Structure 1
């Protein structure tokens, strides 16, 4: 690549600093025609999605790793590392034929042993989403290096919605076996099978990937380098998108007000299609390990004190709708509105706190606790401020705490050092994938992010979750999913606040951007650079 580009990296021009608006990076990429500049936010905690299942990781990881399959516009499976598959008549055996021309980036051949290790030793043991999704997989057989056989205790149709690289993640067994996959050093210097090879992670500045010259899908990728810039400031991200210094930003990169303005920019595309399978749900968790939050009246009071309509309008600028429970309404096959609800009612909230033994003190305060804001941008900080203001009216004093992503994850999922927090989880295409992890006691996994962070345990809920996983009759399964929503709203271990509408922004000069329902999580291997953006 050009000497000028290398100089710009070393000089720090591609950081999130004051030089963003000068067009230096876009000028370099235009000169070579081979560098695609993207953005991820916040900075990832790791770069292997199977160990750090978070959106900032997913958008980088999908370029480094392939999955068994991917999906088309209709969410039908499409071959990737697996060329074909056969499901047995009783639907308890799925046999995959693997490509025989794939190598890990260190030159070691990819084989069925990698799939077996990844599913049985990582996904089913420590992954907060895959663990319940793959509950019916009892064994993965490897009759030869290019054949993998999933053996199921019961048919499990949900598996077919969870086999792409951001879901059924495939690790290189030769680098992970015998280690803790959550702390393995290769999570920060990944060795994958994908279209791009990891080159460099300059913390706080950028992640640099290069074209994989030995990629099995001949002719891809179409660019020589893929740079993910770390730009903490939303205004700076907006400027970088407008002047072409960043050409692709998948993770709702600007404020919602700014997004409405950028919709008028003819050089940019604001797209929600790539988020369709994600179905993000925003909620507030209580740390149920604390005695005060074990009283459901306290949790009900907090719910009654938050005006969800005002939250979605003033915080999310109508890029959201109020939630009625943990399953989003656009999952129409599974959603029910027939659940306990907590309409905005400050007087009822105060009465519940009185009954629970938390009267106002001489200073007017009933209770004090901290609230950890989700780290994925200013919108979640504003949501925390909104909650803080709402609860102050009923005598609850909230201290907001903002951390970087690794600290946030450690405090919640490892140390349990928090009182309350806000976060969104992807509901995905089926509640078994993205919803039940919030409520299943077996998904309380120390150190595993995006799991049952509240510490909620309920034998009744566990029985419903396990019915969802094992029911053979579709109607019985749907009824169990409805019952999950009822129990979640009755017990209220967390408050489902809003159904979010995420978007990505990219240059109109980019060609072949993946617009399938998993587009946000898809590789950029097919993207071509068009005419350079105006500087």
Structure 2
């Protein structure tokens, strides 16, 4: 029986965690009896570096991995926790110990028993090697294992967000007997994983596909219903659209899906469904970051002028085709309990922007250019987004040269070489601001070479104080106020231009049912997915 013990130290966290009713997806009704069997063909782009989301948070790993490896918990669309490898959990009165009762009878795919030793090893490993785990588990000092089916996470300080960080896509539990004593980052099991999940890794043909097969010994029988999942890597958007339209592919999402310009046409196709739900666990969000080490951009008036030159509403209509949800705050509308709706974009005013640049000493020179800036963009944003910024800045005399790179090179250019002046990023808010938002604006998270960290090199002691206080505050009302003050200061400082939640478009064949029943959406397990004739 599931148990969650609320205490005075941590009152009613989930009562306020409501997500908009738009998450309901009535167009995909489930039948009373799932049909077993069949193969799902799933398109993904770009090709991931590995499969398990253990040492990386990249999209492909976070999507494929949870079909094979599992976390302690899963979540509904209100982000309320539900059992997975843990069947019950409680919190001590001082807020410093989480006790998890683990599911019995679970086997790793190689036949070994799953035990609390695997949980302890995984949590302490995530703290060391996972890009966000360093922060998520920063207060973890020990994981006790009094017996094979009990794990106790011991904290030095309260971590009010920790219970929401235990999904398969964020904190996978991996087999201690295969990872212990090895170089975790280079382990062969990152790309040929052994898990406890509904599907077993079969093969990975580089440049072509990954095959996952049904786990006949899965603990949640009769799931999974599919016999096989074939992940195909198709880099060209037109080819993906053709595969989906012809029926040779069944499912695609986000950057692995169709061009936004094709969405309306696909909505009219007889055998296709379009799902526009946004995963509350992922918290889709995109933004523009200034490199505050660039001399010209150290001036707030220059950053404000650039913000006034970019019409974010026009951006949403043209680049996102109206499918996104604009938001001017670093905590977007998807995290409604912390989002400050009073924060609005700086008014679009190119004339005022030009006057501000003049006053700052950037006068038009030869060819009408005031200054030159390098513009990069994460491939998870479209080139069209970077071109929109380039054209917007060109109107006020800024020569914005767009540089295009593959994902790995982009990460190196931005976070190691810091060879950019402006970058269009795609750093999701995730399930809690301490995990998804703090990493960008906390000065102590500026580290050259650390991907998806403090790209602007933003430093504000008061912002640091607010973020650090919110990370350990167990009173929900006080925590909300801390995040409100944080948002207002960042908006005034302008280290970024926040764009909001980018479109979440999933294209699927009508025969595909129940593919995303949890808040992790496509990053869930596919255990419930079945094909309807």
Residue of structure 2 in register with 1:150 after alignment: 153
* Equivalence for 1:501: 503
Question: For residues 265-320 of structure 1, what are the alpha-carbon distances to aligned partners after superposition, in whole Å with 9 as ceiling and x for unaligned?
Answer: 23222113362333311101123333333332332222111011110111111112
**What displacement does 1:498 show?**
2.8
Residue 139 (structure 1) aligns with: 142
Identify the residue that residue 310 of structure 1 maps to in structure 2. 314
Query: Cα deviations across residues 477-513 of structure 1 (Å, max 9, x unaligned)?
Result: 1111011111221222221123323121211112332
Q: Encode CA deviations 1:319-371: one digit per residue, 9 max, x unaligned.
A: 12332211113433212244485221222322333344433222322222222
Tell me if 1:491 matches 2:493.
yes
Instruction: Give the 3-state SS of the residue equivalent to 1:513 in structure 2.
Output: coil
> Secondary structure in 2 aligned to 1:383?
helix
Shift of 1:383: 0.6
The aligned counterpart of 1:90 is 94
Q: Are 1:293 and 2:264 matched, yes or no?
A: no
Unaligned runs of 5+ in 2: 1-35
Residues 243-392 of structure 1 mapped to structure 2, 5 A cutoff: 243-251=246-254, 253-273=257-277, 275-339=279-343, 341-376=345-380, 380-392=382-394
d(CA) in 2 for partners of 1:288 and 1:237?
39
Equivalent residue, structure 1, for 2:231: 228
Q: Of 122, 137, 162, which aligns to 2:165? A: 162
Partner residue of 1:34 out of 10, 32, 38: 38
**Structure 1 residues 341 and 235: CA distance shift in structure 2, 3 A:** closer
Alpha carbons of structure 1 residues 357 and 260: separation in structure 2 relative to 1, 3 Å: same
Query: Aligned-pair distance for 1:233?
Result: 1.8
Closer, same or farther: CA 530–340 of 1 in aligned 2, 3 Å: closer
Contact 1:64 1:192 in 2 (8 A): yes
Q: Is the 8 A contact 1:413 1:447 kept in 2?
A: yes
CA distance in 2, matches of 1:398, 1:183: 39
C-alpha contact 2:55 2:131 (8 A) present in aligned 1: no
The equivalent residue for 1:21 is none
Give the Cα–Cα distance (whole angstroms) in 2 for the partners of residues 353 and 116 of structure 1. 55
| Equivalent runs, 1:210-225 vs 2, <5 Å | 210-225=213-228
Deviates most, 159-168 or 206-215? 206-215
1:75 equivalent in structure 2: 79
RMSD of aligned residue pairs (Cα, Å): 2.5
Aligned partners of 2:345 and 2:278: how far apart in 1? 31
Count of residue pairs brought into register by the alignment: 497
8 Å CA contact retained: 2:78, 2:280? no
CA contact (8 A) 1:52 1:449 kept: no
Residue pair 1:197, 1:209 contacting (<8 A) in 2 also: yes
The 1-side partners of 2:205 and 2:416 are apart by: 26
Runs ≥4 in structure 1, deviation > 6 angstroms? Answer: none
2:179 matches 1:171: no
2:532 pairs with 508, 523, 530, which one?
A: 530
2-structure distance, mates of 1:339, 1:327: 10
Measure the CA separation in 2 of the matches of 1:100 and 1:330. 35
**Deviations along 1:124-143, whole A, 9 cap, x unmatched?**
34534343344443332222
Match of 2:520 among 510, 518, 521: 518
Displacement of 1:420: 2.2
TM-score under structure 1 length normalisation: 0.86
Report the Cα offset of residue 454 of structure 1.
2.5
Equivalent of 1:46 in 37, 50, 54: 50
Matched residues in 2 for 1:294 and 1:184: separation? 42
TM-score with structure 2 setting the length: 0.86
Specify whether residues 352 and 121 from structure 1 end up closer, same or farther in structure 2 by C-alpha distance, changes over 3 A only: farther
Among residues 173, 192, 197, which one is paired with 1:194 in the alignment? 197
Structure 2 counterparts to residues 447-486 of structure 1, below 5 A: 447-486=449-488
Alpha-carbon distance in structure 1 between the residues aligned to 2:233 and 2:468: 41
Partner in structure 2 of residue 26 of structure 1: none
Give, in angstroms, the shift of residue 248 of structure 1: 1.5
Could you say if the C-alpha distance between residues 274 and 307 of structure 1 is closer, same or farther in structure 2, counting changes exceeding 3 Å?
A: closer
Distance 1:127 1:355, change over 3 A: farther
Quick one: distance in 2 between partners of 1:400 and 1:179?
A: 41
**Partner secondary structure for residue 367 of structure 2:** coil
Distance change in 2, residues 1:227/1:148 (3 Å): same
Distance 1:114 1:445 in 2: 30
- 1:446, CA displacement in angstroms? 4.9
SS in 1 for 2:357: helix
Query: In structure 2, the residue corresponding to 1:115 is in which secondary structure?
Result: helix
Q: Name stretches of at least 5 consecutive residues in structure 1 with no aligned partner.
A: 1-31
How far off its partner does 1:189 sit? 2.7
Q: Which residue of 1 aligns with 2:413?
A: 411
What's the secondary structure of 1:498's corresponding residue? Answer: strand
What secondary structure does 2:153 align onto?
strand
CA contact (8 A) 1:302 1:349 kept: yes
User: Equivalences for 1:51-70 in 2 at 5 Å?
Assistant: 51-70=55-74
CA–CA distance in 1 between the matches of 2:210 and 2:448? 28
